[in-house]
Amino acid sequence: MTHEPIKAVHLRSWCEDDLSLLTRLLGDPEMMTHLGGPETPEQIAARREEQKKYGELGMELFQCSSEKVEC
């Protein structure tokens, strides 16, 4: 199998629009097996509120693209 090389990786902080993705990821038992188990939506929301107090929204979200990006 041949894959196109990734020409750009963009890093950005999580934002409120990503909350449904974050909830699906952190609530997934298979993904969270080695990370303490899945979190409930209430646990995720409480952590997000705590992070907002410090101006941090947490983990980085990676976006990959095979398109060339000009810097």
Mean pLDDT of 31-57: 84
Residue type, 19: L
Please check whether residue 3 lies inside any domain of the structure: no
Domain count, the chain: 1
Mean pLDDT of 15-34: 89
pLDDT, residue 10, reads 73
Please check whether residue 12 lies inside any domain of the structure: yes
Does the structure show a pLDDT above 80 at 71?
A: no
d(CA 34, CA 29): 9
pLDDT, residue 19, reads 83
d(CA 9, CA 44): 26
Please check whether residue 44 lies inside any domain of the structure: yes
Please check whether residue 41 lies inside any domain of the structure: yes
Please check whether residue 34 lies inside any domain of the structure: yes
Please check whether residue 20 lies inside any domain of the structure: yes
pLDDT band at 54 (very low <50, low <70, confident <90, very high): confident
Please check whether residue 2 lies inside any domain of the structure: no
Does the structure show a pLDDT above 80 at 2?
A: no
Which domain covers residue 59, as residue numbers? Answer: 8-65
